[in-house]
């Protein structure tokens, strides 16, 4: 399995001949190396409905006939736009031919905001994602604050690689994310969701310094890890 970071919270997983994209916020993301008009993916996993996570999902999914996996409300909204979807809820898992997906809770919000009409559409509960394939498990925490059940997630799942937000303001900051890493017991931890906007500026290397030696790893956009 190859796992590649593409800026902000965008993660690509390549496994068993399948390309999976998590939270494809590409257009408007100055920190990504991807081009939404050329990227290929078989599956898109979404943690929640905010624009900096749903991003280019509709255009990418339609062009590739990708399966989009998301909370029921978000899956319905995307389905109405002609996207092929599979709805899942927190605590539930499903084994697809490319791997097993399980959604965890995340403490955040989830909505689509139309600033022109001044309407906010609820898009279901925000989630984290546990993805298992080839005997390896990747955890993408989505946008979340620190919560004690992260310890339960770590106790129940052998996590090989965790992607944790460190930006603060809307998510955990570095200190809370370091506690989350300890509770999750992940073998490797990569910081995400930082520096994309002025109010989430962080030094990812300072976060890594809070973790045990060899656990944290800062990835630039386009850099990956083989599991």
Per-residue pLDDT tens over the stretch 60-92: 999 999 999 999 999 999 999 999 999 999 999
Grouping H, G, I as helix, E, B as strand and the rest as coil, residue 44 is: strand
| 59 neighbors 82 (Cβ within 8 angstroms) | no
pLDDT attached to residue 107: 98
User: Hey, which residues does 131 pair with through a beta bridge?
Assistant: 101, 138
Q: Which of the four pLDDT bands, split at 50, 70 and 90, describes residue 172?
A: very high
The secondary structure element, H or E, covering residue 29 is: none
Structure tokens at 84: 């092929």
- pTM (global) more than 0.85: yes
Q: Which of the four pLDDT bands, split at 50, 70 and 90, describes residue 9?
A: very high
Helix 57-64 / helix 72-80 crossing angle, nearest 10 deg: 60
Taking the C-alpha atoms of residue 39 and residue 224, their distance in angstroms, rounded to an integer, is: 16
24 φ/ψ sector (left φ>0, alpha ψ -120 to 50, else beta):
beta
- What domains can you pick out in the chain, each with its CATH number? 2-216 (3.60.15.10)
Q: What is the pLDDT of residues 96-137, one digit of tens each?
A: 999 999 999 999 999 999 999 999 999 999 999 999 999 999
pLDDT attached to residue 171: 98
Report DSSP state, residue 211. Answer: S
CA distances from residue 205 to 39, 145, 168, 192, 211 in whole angstroms, order as listed? 29, 20, 15, 12, 10
| 146 neighbors 178 (Cβ within 8 angstroms) | no
pLDDT attached to residue 52: 97
pLDDT attached to residue 71: 98
- Mean pLDDT value of segment 180-190: 98
């Amino acid at each position: 399995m190859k796992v590649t970071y593409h800026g902000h919270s965008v993660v690509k997983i390549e496994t068993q001949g399948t390309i999976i994209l998590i939270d494809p916020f590409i257009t408007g993301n100055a920190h990504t190396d991807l081009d939404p008009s050329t990227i290929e993916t078989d599956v898109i996993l979404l943690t929640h409905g905010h624009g900096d996570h749903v991003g280019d999902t509709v255009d990418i999914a339609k062009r590739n006939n990708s399966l989009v996996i998301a909370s029921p409300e978000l899956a319905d909204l995307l389905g109405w736009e002609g996207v092929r979807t599979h709805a899942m809820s927190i605590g539930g898992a499903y084994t697809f031919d490319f791997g097993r997906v399980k959604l965890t809770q995340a403490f955040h919000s989830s909505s689509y905001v139309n600033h022109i009409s001044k309407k906010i559409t609820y898009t279901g509960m925000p989630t984290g994602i546990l993805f298992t394939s080839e005997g390896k498990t990747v955890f993408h925490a989505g946008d979340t604050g620190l919560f004690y059940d992260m310890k339960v997630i770590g106790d129940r799942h052998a996590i090989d690689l965790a992607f944790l937000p460190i930006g603060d303001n809307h998510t955990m900051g570095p200190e809370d994310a370091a506690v989350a890493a300890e509770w999750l017991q992940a073998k490797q931890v990569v910081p995400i969701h930082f520096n994309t906007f002025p109010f989430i500026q962080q030094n990812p290397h300072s976060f890594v310094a809070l973790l045990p030696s060899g656990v944290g790893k800062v990835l630039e956009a386009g850099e990956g890890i083989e599991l």
